[in-house]
């Protein structure tokens, strides 16, 4: 089981390959980007749990990469560790002022870097900033977005759940269940990239519950697109036999068996024009109820 995803943004192939070999051996999933724009694109497609970012890059520098990541709601929470030859105090301060979580200079001790990576990931999880399985914002970050939502007038909220996932996990185990959660995370991001807006927010509430905040005019289109894609592609997580018959067999504790349908995406859509909320709990309660009606 992976310890987390690391994005290494480094144009020196010797360093990037060494980091990939080392951290992969430690149990991490490691992706390499040699240019700043490549790093932004990879982060947008699949959120890493931490980014190790060089400052000197061939296109845009690490400061600009950090600035763009922090300005985007989808990536603002991802921990960033600067890795650079710049060791002047002003350079360190500049990086930290832009929102970097840590700073380490070359040449570096790889064991020290490993500990800093672990520390950054633990802090993010401890402060309820990210979900450890999907890397999406959770806890406090979702609450902040919901409070900000109440000051807007044109929002649309999608409360997303995966129907029949409990049965799937009972049969196939939690590792397979985590793969479905990561698949769903990737799908939500790709759909929102195509039909959503640049300021949309995607969060992982917990379990199989996700949340997407967008504008009123985009909400229904996003909901329809993600539901269609999920229901078309979720079959890849089942065996050929399960796909053909359209259900899985679940054994109950008493030894009996039951048939459970294949998973489907359930999306409840709540629009600002239809409700007046005074508390974020009201938003989540209404959203959950709308989602339940969709999945019933």
Mean pLDDT of 95-123: 87
The side-by-side arrangement of strands in the sheet containing 264-271 is 201-206, 209-215, 155-163, 264-271
Say if residue 9's pLDDT is above 90. yes
pTM recorded for the entire structure: 0.75
Say if residue 53's pLDDT is above 70. yes
Question: Which residues lie across from 270 on neighbouring strands?
Answer: 157
Of 174, 186, 294, 168, the closest CA to residue 243 belongs to 168
**Structural domains of the chain sorted by starting position, each given as residue range(s) with its CATH number in brackets:** 5-126 (3.40.50.2300), 139-295 (3.30.70.270)
Say if residue 169's pLDDT is above 80. yes
SS3 content of the chain, % helix, strand, coil (to 5): 50, 20, 30
Query: Which CA distances in Å does 139 have to 40, 74, 93, 161, 277?
Result: 24, 15, 29, 17, 20
Of 272, 145, 153, 275, the closest CA to residue 199 belongs to 145
pLDDT of amino acid 210: 96
Quick: pLDDT tens for 101-112.
888 888 889 999
pLDDT of amino acid 139: 85
Judge whether 192 and 223 are in contact, CB under 8 Å: no
């Amino acid at each position: 089981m992976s310890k987390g995803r690391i994005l290494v943004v480094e144009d020196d192939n010797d360093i990037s390959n060494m980091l990939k070999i080392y951290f992969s051996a430690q149990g991490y999933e490691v992706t390499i980007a040699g240019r700043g724009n490549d790093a932004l694109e990879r982060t947008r497609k699949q959120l890493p749990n931490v980014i190790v970012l060089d400052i000197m890059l061939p296109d845009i520098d690490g400061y600009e990469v950090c600035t763009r990541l922090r300005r985007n709601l989808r990536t603002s929470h991802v921990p960033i560790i600067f890795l650079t030859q710049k060791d002047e105090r002003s350079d360190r301060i500049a990086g930290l002022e832009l929102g970097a979580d840590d700073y380490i200079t070359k040449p570096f001790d790889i064991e020290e870097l490993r500990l800093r990576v672990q520390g950054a990931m633990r802090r993010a999880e401890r402060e309820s900033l990210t979900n450890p399985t999907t890397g999406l914002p959770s806890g406090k970050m979702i609450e902040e977005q919901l409070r900000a939502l109440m000051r807007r007038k044109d929002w649309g909220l999608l409360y997303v759940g995966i129907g029949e996932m409990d049965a799937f996990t009972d049969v196939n185990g939690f590792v397979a269940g985590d793969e479905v959660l990561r698949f769903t995370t990737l799908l939500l991001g790709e759909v929102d990239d195509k039909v959503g807006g640049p300021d949309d927010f995607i969060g992982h509430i917990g379990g199989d519950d996700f949340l997407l905040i967008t504008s009123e005019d985009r909400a229904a289109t996003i909901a329809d697109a993600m539901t269609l894609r999920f229901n078309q592609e979720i079959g890849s997580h089942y065996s050929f036999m399960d796909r053909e018959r359209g259900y899985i067999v679940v054994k109950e504790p008493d030894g009996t068996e039951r048939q459970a349908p294949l998973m489907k995406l359930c999306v409840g859509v709540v629009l600002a024009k239809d409700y007046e909320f005074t508390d974020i709990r009201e938003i989540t309660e209404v959203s959950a109820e709308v989602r339940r009606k969709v999945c019933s």
